[in-house]
Structures are given as structure tokens and as C-alpha cells.
Amino acid sequence: MKQKTTTEPPTEKKEEKNDFAQELENLQKSLVDAQEDSRRAMADYQNLMRRTQEERLRMVKLAGRSVIEGLIAPFEHLYLAKAQLKDPGLDMVYQQFLQALQNEGLEVVDPLGKEFDPHFMEVVSKEPTDDEKQIGKVLKVVKRGYKLNGEVIEHAKVVVGE
Amino acid sequence: MANSGKIIGIDLGTTNSAVAVMEGGSPKVIPTAEGRNTFPSIVAFKGDNVTVGDAAKRQMVLNPKSTVNSVKRFMGQKAKSEKVQNAIKHVAYDVVEGKDGMAVIKIDNKNYTPQEISAKILGKAKADAESYLGQPVTRAVITVPAYFDDSQRQATKQAGEIAGLTVERIVNEPTAAALAYGLDKKGNATIAVYDLGGGTFDISILEIGDGVFEVKSTNGDTFLGGDDFDSKIIEWILSEFKKETGKDLAKDPQALQRIKDAAEKAKIELSSAQQTEINQPFIAQGDGGQPLHLTMTLTRAKLESLVDDLIQRSFGPVKKAMEDAKLKPSDINEVVLVGGQTRMPKVQEEVKKYFGREPHKGVNPDEVVAVGAAVQAGVIGGDVKDVVLLDVTPLTFGLETLGGVRTPLIERNTTIPTSKSQIFSTAADNQTQVEINVLQGEREMAADNKSLGRFILSGIPPAPRGVPQVEVIFDIDSNGILNVTAKDKTSGKSQKITIQNSTNLTKEEVERMKADAEKHAEDDKRKREVIESKNRATSVVFEMEKQLKDYGDKVDEATRKGIEENVKKLKEMAEKADATKEDLDKATDETLTSAQKLGEAMMKAQDAANAAGAGAGAGAAGASGANATDDSAKTDDKKNDKGEAEEGEVVKE
């Protein structure tokens, strides 16, 4: 009876071993990559959680901001009217409006005479001045600034002495 | 570590800059410290102090000589070149010849290269990104105009390095815009990018093939932008006012500032409205000291006629770019809009008319270049791979709870893989098993949803209703395989079902089920409310019957009879098919109110028992009783318990 030899030629076995070794290496690399991806995803998630929380606090703080911002223009116009018309009734209306807005956390920033500060003000023009003390100071307020709960929502527009 | 950390994408613009980063596979524009998504590309020097962005812009008028805007116009350019000489006319600060004849900025007798100035802008972008990400940022992709030459690109790279950033790549702005819309995934295409920003206009024709972008041609107008559109409106307002009142407000800086603001606001409003009111009371004083008011109506049609020549002006460079690329408008496959001014409907209409196709405009046009830079950054950093984008469940998964109601566990459009668990309990005393009916759909009642499978968890130790804690976990893997596990926390027993192809619905099926749910939303809500009221009523009946049995003799006859009457009425009502929520709630409240004396008797008995050290507790008196555990509903005790899963492609543990 013929017997089939079961011994494989040595070179084929060596190649097979190399293939396995290569596959193992590839799989190990894939595993490392996948673990890294997973860690990154978790890190992104944690960062998102943290930022969501911060944003939520910020939203609470600035809740109602768009309503208040919409009221600033007519409020400023009322202020101009009060200044020009000099009517006691109009003064009363203005005060009431101001109080109502202040109750919502609004603060009027009127920087007349103050040192110019770009964090709260925007220069719209400059005016020459002979008084040295007035250089760099706010000579005119074109539009007052506003803060809501401590955060600037509108920068005052000013004319500064030079 | 050399290659760690996120790579940010920076749009270093002439007028404004923005920065974005890939997060969770999507680009996110990083807000500045001031809370806005873009910031002015302006750097101000005051002594040793350097301010960048909005604060620098706000003091520009005061310190024009030491505030640098539009420095991009001088990057990598020779001082004597025509471009630089032209640009110098538009800036207030000094530009002089520096080393090798290159243009440099002179501030307070000190020369700064444009790279150094740009580095300040990039430094702010870096700092804002670090603050947002909570980690150091050392790598960036920065965008430049497609027409930038080698010297200009090198200068931009240097600016990044000065700012402490390794510039992983310099990307063309139009290419970034195309990436933001995923146009690199659309195979071969010819793309036109129409970029109308605050101060400049650029048109670029690109070709994409095998994922590689090639710039076929570029053209533009370096002094055409949104600011010019504002100027047209301002001019119109001034001329109209002069016609009406004879007063020239251009000479009044305060009035002029108000008009500038009003003009910009009107322009923005007219992108969505057909007309807008420009109202500025007390704008000035007349010769007689009387107040003058500015009040005008600006219609969209009027605005379009005012700026028509500006829009048409932009098509001069467009036509030249097409000629240079040897293309006709019909050869363009995709059109992308960049820059805030492209929000104007007339601009969009003209672009559509010229190219004969709808332009891409879904991404915020102020941010699209930064978004594209972030996409490129993500590819380089390995955040964006060609493999899987996460899937979402198209429909809600839930289970059936007491009264035939569907309690949702995983809402539709939840990104998968995901896992959600909730604690449930039993509906009756000594209930030793619960049936879990896994449902998919948007309807409120279980019967109106698709049942994916059922199984029973048995072996729950006997206990009063609402006491056992059965944790039900829904887990969907990224292949859409849903595993539902129910586990009794006391005995530790658990049972599980696996549902294959839980997300394998056709789009039509999904839409139909959603539409169905919307149609029946009101009805379903009412049905659910009635059932919840019935459940509450049944719970109260059960509790009251128990309390009457235990403490009925501790109250007077009249009170006891009254409570019994109410309990009987409530029980009958809860069993009626047509009982309303209002009637049930009213009857439940009346029963509870009438049973207050019983509650008092219970408490007295409890105190006496405590005092005597017997320590026996009874349930809380007058409790609403419906929900024994927080956020829990009760699962039904099926009369025909089968103990095995009923349907669906299921595999049981």
C-alpha cells in the first residue's frame, strides 16, 4: 500500500509561520489603534460633558438676553428724547423703564469723562483738545454701553480727546 | 510628545479670522474668549501691551498708527510692489521697506514683519482653542488664498511657527470650503468657490479627482466686500435725509455712527424681510434748535438697486477666471458660497443665475473655511477616517408597561452604539415574574408599536407590589443588534433576548411610522393620560383597602363608611372603559382626602408601636401610591405566562 507522506516540505511550514507572525503583528497594531480611538472618543465625550455644563451655566446667566438687547435701542432713544424734551412726565417714564431693566440685571455704562477702555468702549471718533487732562478721556458719549449680569453686551460708543 | 494633541484649523482672514476643530467626527467652530465665532484680524500696540481682535478694533480710530488691520495684504510681499503700494493707501499705519526689500509695518519706531503681526492673530486663535479644549494646542492647519505664491505661503507658515504652532499644512481657502461641504467625496468634479467677505472678493475654480484638488484658476477684487454694501446704504440715507431736511449728517460724527450701525442692521434684516424701518429719533438738531428725526423705509428691492453695480462688478473676475480655466458655466458641477455678504438673497440669485445651479450654502459662510481647515486637520490627525460614521436609531425602542402603555428607553435618533437602563417593578403583591415586551415605534400605546420580541424573567422573590427592583437594560451595538436584559436586583436572576436587524427598516417604513405617530399624537397622549390616571386610581384603591383592613377600626363608623364608599366608587370607575382622566383624578383625590383621618390613625398607631419598641412600619399614609420607585412604571403580570420568547429573530441566553 502506498503511504502518503504527511510531512510538509520545511520551506512551506516556515512561510506559514511567517504569515501567522505577520497577521499577529497586524492584529496587535489594529488593537492598539482601536484602543487609542476609544480613548480619544471617551476624552471627546468628557470634554463635551464639561463644555455642555459650562454652556448651560452661561445660558442661564444670559437668559433673556435677546429680549433685553431688543429693548436697548428704544431705551436709548427714550434717553435722547428725555434729554431734548425736558418733560417731567417723560422723565418719570424713563425712570420706570430703567428700573424695570435694572431688575432684569441690566446695567447702563455711561463712561463720560472716564479713561478710554477698549474692553467696555468703542472709539467712533476723536476730537482735539487743549486740556491735557482730557487726552485719552471720553469727551462725548454717542451711545451708552450696557452690561447684563456683569457681562458686556453692548460697548459704549464714544468720542475721545487727543 | 511630538504628535499628540488635536490639530486645529485656522482661517486667517484679511478682515476676520476663525478657528475650528474636529470633535466626535464633526467640525466645531471654537468660540473666542468674547463668545463670538469669528474675531477681527486686528492687532493693536500700546506701549508693551498688545491687543488682538475685538478690543483692538474698538480702539482703532483712537490709535490708527499703532493698530494693524488687513496685514494679510502685506504677507510675503516686496514693499515696492504694486499690490503693496495700492494697499498702503487703504491703511492708516506705516508700511516701509524692511530686510531684503520686504514690506514691514512700522509701529512706534519699531519694525514688525507681517509674519510677526499675523503670529499675534494666530496666537489668539491658539489661546482660545486651548481654553476651549482644556489642553495645549501645538499643531494647526492654516488656510491661505489660492493665489498666494510661495513667498506668501512661507510667510504664513513662519507666522504659525512664531505663534508656537507646527503648521501641518497650508490649505487653499476655496479647497477648505469645498472640504467643508464634503465635495471631496463626490468623485470627480469642477467646483466654483464664490467668496465675498468683508473687504475682499475671490473667485476660484477647482477640479477634484481621486481626492486631489487642483486650482484651475483664480481671480478677484481685493477691494470689494460687505463694507462697500454698507457704504451704499449709508450714502442713500444721508442723501435722503439731506433732501428732506437740508441737513448733511456726514459732518456730524455722532449721527454718522448711528447711521452706520443702522445701515448694517438694515442690510442684515433685508436678507430675511422684504422691507425694514430705519428709525433714529433725535438724530440731530435743526437750525432753530428743534429736534430732527430720521425715519425711512428701505425695501429689499431698493437695496438691490443700490448695490446692483457692486454685485455685477464681482462677475467681471468670475468671467475672467472661467476664461482662464477654459470652462463654460455649464461645466461647473458644484458652486460654494463663502463670506458673510453671500447671505444676501440677490447675491445668491445672481450666482445661481450665472452658474445655472443652486450654490451650497448650508454651512455658515463666515465659518466655512475654518470648518474645512478643521476637516483637513482631522484627516491629518487621524480623527476622520474613511470607515464608519456613527449610525442613529431611526425609531424609539421601549417596552410595555402597566396598562398597555409604551415606556421609551432609547429615543429615536440616538447615536449608536449605546446602552440605557431603567428600574421597573411589579404591579401586584407577590408577583414573581415580569414579562418584557420589547417595542419599536413612536406611538404611546404598546399595541400600536412593533413588538420585536418578548421574554419572561421569573424567580423574583415574593414582595409587596412596587418593592422588587428589576433593572432592564437596552443595549444596541454598532451593527444594530439589540440586546435586552432584565435583572432582578435582589435575587440576581437575569434573562436576556437578542434581536438582530433592529435598525433594519426601509426609509419608507420609518417615515410612515413617524407620520402615523404625529397624526395620532393628541389621541395617543389622551389615551396614555387616562391609563396613567387609571393606574394611579387602582394603586390608591389597593392601598386604601389594605389600610381599611388594618386600621379601619381605629376611626369612627361614619368616617370608615365614607372612605369605603369612595374606594368602591373609585374601583368601579377605574374598571370603566370610558372613564375620563379628569373624573378619575377627581375621584382619586376625593378618596385620598376622605382617608386623611385614616392616615392620622395610622401615624398614631405607628408612633405608639415605635414608643413601645415594636418597630413595625406600615406604608406611608395617604400616599399617591402609583409609583413605587423613582422613574419606574410597573410591568404587567401576564395571566398566561409562557416563559419563552414569542417572536422576532431572537436568541435567548
Question: What's the CA gap between B602 and B588, in Å, rounded?
Answer: 20
Q: Do the bridges between strand B103-107 and strand A121-127 make them parallel or antiparallel, or are there none, so unpaired? A: unpaired
Report whether pLDDT(A42) > 70: yes
* Nearest residue to B366 (alpha-carbon basis) of B19, B6, B131: B19
Rounded to a whole number of angstroms, the CA Rg of chain A reads: 36
Question: What's the CA gap between B544 and B538, in Å, rounded?
Answer: 10
Helix (H) or strand (E) holding B279: strand B275-285
User: CA B525 → CA B403, B573, B624, distances in Å?
Assistant: 14, 20, 22
DSSP secondary structure, B557-581, as one string: HHHHHHHHHHHHHHHHHHH-TT--H
How many CA atoms lie within 13 Å of B356's alpha carbon, on the beta-carbon side?
A: 6
Question: What's the CA gap between B619 and B614, in Å, rounded?
Answer: 16
Of B51-55, B457-461, B488-492, the range with the highest mean pLDDT is B51-55
The DSSP call for residue B267 is: H
CA distance A144 to chain B (A): 12
pLDDT at B348: 96
* CATH number of the domain located at residue range(s) A106-162 in this protein: 2.30.22.10
Cβ contact (<8 Å) for A118 and B291? no
Q: Who wins on pLDDT, B628 or A77?
A: A77
pLDDT at A67: 87
Minimal Cα distance from A141: which residue of B? B254
> Is residue B503 very low, low, confident or very high in pLDDT (cuts 50, 70, 90)?
low
pLDDT in tens, B349-407: 999 999 999 999 889 999 999 999 999 999 888 765 544 456 678 889 999 998 899 99
Q: What's the CA angle centered on B473, arms B470 and B474, to 5 degrees?
A: 145
Average pLDDT on A126-147 reads 92
Report the share of chain B in percent with pLDDT over 70: 91
Q: Is the ipTM reported for this complex over the cut 0.90?
A: no
pLDDT at B369: 97
User: Of B128, B184, B195, B543, which one is the catalytic site residue?
Assistant: B195
pLDDT in tens, B575-606: 888 889 999 999 999 898 888 878 887 788 77
Which residues fall within 8 angstroms of residue B205, CB to CB, at 6 or more apart?
B190, B191, B192, B193, B215, B216, B217, B218, B321, B322, B324, B325, B327, B332
pLDDT at A7: 55
Question: What's the CA gap between B242 and B284, in Å, rounded?
Answer: 12
Question: What's the CA gap between B124 and B5, in Å, rounded?
Answer: 18
pLDDT in tens, B292-313: 999 999 999 999 999 999 999 9
* Nearest residue to A103 (alpha-carbon basis) of A60, A64, A151: A64
Q: Who wins on pLDDT, B211 or B492?
A: B492
B36 touches chain A (CB under 8 A): no
B308 is catalytic: no
pLDDT at B649: 31
Say if CB B643 and CB B456 are below 8 A apart: yes
C-alpha cell at B349: 440669485
pLDDT at B4: 58
A144 touches chain B (CB under 8 A): no
Residues listed for chain A = 162
Helix (H) or strand (E) holding B215: strand B212-221
pLDDT in tens, B614-650: 544 333 332 333 332 333 334 443 333 333 333 333 3
Q: State how far Cα B11 lies from the chain centre.
A: 21
Say if CB B93 and CB B106 are below 8 A apart: yes
The end-to-end CA distance of chain B, in Å, is 47
B47 touches chain A (CB under 8 A): no
pLDDT in tens, B76-115: 999 999 999 999 998 999 999 999 999 999 999 999 999 9
User: Of B72, B120, B527, B571, which one is the catalytic site residue?
Assistant: B72
Minimal Cα distance from A142: which residue of B? B254
B230 touches chain A (CB under 8 A): no
Report whether pLDDT(B64) > 50: yes
Question: What's the CA gap between B423 and B437, in Å, rounded?
Answer: 15
Which residues fall within 8 angstroms of residue B99, CB to CB, at 6 or more apart?
none
Question: B442 in helix, strand or coil?
Answer: coil
pLDDT at B262: 93
pLDDT at B621: 30
Minimal Cα distance from A84: which residue of B? B291
Say if CB B256 and CB B250 are below 8 A apart: yes
A135 touches chain B (CB under 8 A): no
Average pLDDT on B318-337 reads 95
B291 touches chain A (CB under 8 A): yes
pLDDT at B622: 29
Helices marked H in B356-466: 368-381
pLDDT at A33: 85
B264 touches chain A (CB under 8 A): no
> ω before B464 within 30° of 0 (cis)?
no
pLDDT in tens, B273-286: 999 999 999 999 88
Report the share of chain B in percent with pLDDT over 90: 62
* Nearest residue to B497 (alpha-carbon basis) of B334, B299, B653, B296: B653
C-alpha cell at B114: 507681517
Say if CB B641 and CB B456 are below 8 A apart: yes
Say if CB B404 and CB B359 are below 8 A apart: no
Report whether pLDDT(B554) > 70: yes
Which residues fall within 8 angstroms of residue B131, CB to CB, at 6 or more apart?
B33
Residue appearing with cell numbers 474636529:
B22
Report whether pLDDT(A160) > 80: yes
Closest in A44, A81, A159 to B281, CB measured: A81
- Residues on chain B touching A157 (C-beta within 8 angstroms): 257
Average pLDDT on A29-49 reads 83
Report the share of chain A in percent with pLDDT over 90: 50
Q: Who wins on pLDDT, B609 or A4?
A: B609
C-alpha cell at B622: 395617604
Question: Residues A50, A54, A57, A63: is their CA dihedral positive or negative?
Answer: negative
pLDDT at B192: 97
B195 is catalytic: yes
pLDDT at B390: 60
* Nearest residue to B43 (alpha-carbon basis) of B61, B75, B70: B70
pLDDT at B651: 30
Cβ contact (<8 Å) for A123 and B58? yes
Residue at B126: amino acid letter: K
Residue at A151: amino acid letter: E
Average pLDDT on B235-262 reads 92
The DSSP call for residue B154 is: H
The phi-psi region of residue B76 (left if phi > 0; otherwise alpha if psi is between -120 and 50; otherwise beta) is left
Question: B430 in helix, strand or coil?
Answer: coil
pLDDT in tens, B415-449: 778 889 999 999 888 999 999 999 999 999 999 99
A 39-68: CB under 8 A from B: 40-41, 44-45, 47-48, 50-51
Helix (H) or strand (E) holding B298: strand B291-299
